[in-house]
């Protein structure tokens, strides 16, 4: 499908926005507007190709207030409690499960991806997230897909970028985000983020299958 790269960009970009913690009302409104626009303009196309239901996410946001979002976000993602903490930071989760050595290896690997492109993890609004926070990871996936889209438009060879997307997806998304999302989904405190994580997990599983068809030998 020729529109799939565009869909991929907006999905990764919007999920990244959702997981970027919003402190003030203006930041929250910008996020809601983005979620609603993607839901209205691309929701049907996203569901047709991937089964991911963005209107469901938009509806859940419409049922809550900003204070509900803030309480749920901080309760789930700032406490860091449990054997496998829900804090959406790859190195912290890896440290809890596999120890310091593996966590450091993963952290150095992800920062090497950023450094190769001269990327500085996004700092926006009034909050700063770690380089391996889920919002930064998903934003980097969006950046890679946008690069692929530009190369396609210019008639350039885009397969090198697709290969890098696959490598990053395997090493810093698939390896922990789906498992983490399932932990969030099973947490009784999750309401909004239960829905968000259900759709995010479906998206990652879909995108992993699709990119594996293009580059089946990339690990």
d(CA 199, CA 202): 5
Q: Which two tokens stand for residue 41?
A: 């303009």
The tens digit of pLDDT for each residue in 97-134 reads: 899 999 999 999 999 999 988 876 655 555 567 899 99
Q: State the average pLDDT for the chain.
A: 91
Could you tell me the sign of the dihedral formed by the alpha carbons of 147, 206, 183, 163, in that order? negative
**Mean pLDDT score, 147-165:** 95
Q: Percentage of the chain with pLDDT > 90?
A: 81
pLDDT over 90 at 28, yes or no: yes
99: left (phi over 0), alpha (psi -120 to 50) or beta: left
Which domains, ranges and CATH numbers included, belong to the chain?
A: 4-214 (1.10.3480.10)
Q: What is the mean pLDDT of residues 57-80?
A: 93
- Are 205 and 165 spatial neighbours (Cβ–Cβ below 8 Å)? no
3-state secondary structure of 128: strand
- Rounded CA-CA distance 98/112 in Å is 21
Pull the structure tokens for residue 100.
């310091």
Task: Give the CA angle between residues 144, 146, 151 to the nearest 5°.
Answer: 95
Concatenating the DSSP letter of every residue in 107-127 gives: HHHHHHHHHHTT----EETTE
Using pLDDT thresholds of 50, 70 and 90, give the confidence band for residue 207. Answer: very high
Give the mean pLDDT of 4-22.
97
pLDDT at residue 70 greater than cutoff 80? yes
Look at residue 117 in the predicted model and tell me its pLDDT: 85
Contacts for 107 with CB less than 8 Å, ≥ 6 apart: 90, 91, 131, 132
- Residue 17 pLDDT > 90, yes or no? yes
Rounded Cα–Cα distance for residues 150 and 148 (Å): 5
Give pLDDT, residue 178.
96
For the ranges 79-93, 130-144, 197-211, which has the lowest average pLDDT?
79-93
pLDDT of 79 higher than 90: no
How are beta strands 123-124 and 127-128 bridged, if at all? Answer: antiparallel
pLDDT band of 83, cuts 50, 70, 90: low
- Confidence class for position 81, pLDDT limits 50, 70, 90: low
């Amino acid at each position: 499908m020729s529109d799939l790269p565009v869909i991929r960009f907006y999905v990764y970009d919007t999920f990244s926005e959702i997981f970027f913690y919003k402190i003030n009302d203006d930041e929250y409104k910008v996020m809601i507007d983005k979620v609603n626009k993607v839901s209205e303009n691309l929701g049907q196309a996203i569901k047709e190709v991937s089964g991911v239901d963005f209107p469901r996410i938009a509806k859940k946001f419409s049922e809550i207030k900003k204070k509900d979002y803030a309480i749920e976000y901080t309760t789930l993602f700032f406490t860091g409690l449990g054997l496998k903490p829900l804090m959406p930071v790859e190195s912290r989760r890896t440290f809890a499960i596999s120890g310091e050595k593996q966590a450091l290896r993963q952290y150095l690997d992800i920062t090497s991806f950023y450094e190769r492109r001269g990327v500085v993890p996004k700092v926006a609004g009034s909050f700063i997230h770690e380089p391996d926070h889920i919002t930064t990871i998903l934003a980097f996936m969006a950046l890679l897909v946008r690069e692929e889209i530009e190369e396609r438009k210019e008639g350039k060879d885009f397969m090198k970028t697709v290969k890098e997307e696959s490598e990053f997806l395997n090493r810093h998304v698939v390896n922990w985000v789906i498992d983490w999302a399932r932990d969030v989904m099973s947490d009784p405190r999750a309401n909004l983020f239960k829905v968000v994580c259900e759709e995010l997990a479906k998206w990652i599983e879909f995108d992993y299958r699709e990119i594996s068809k293009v580059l089946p030998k990339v690990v």
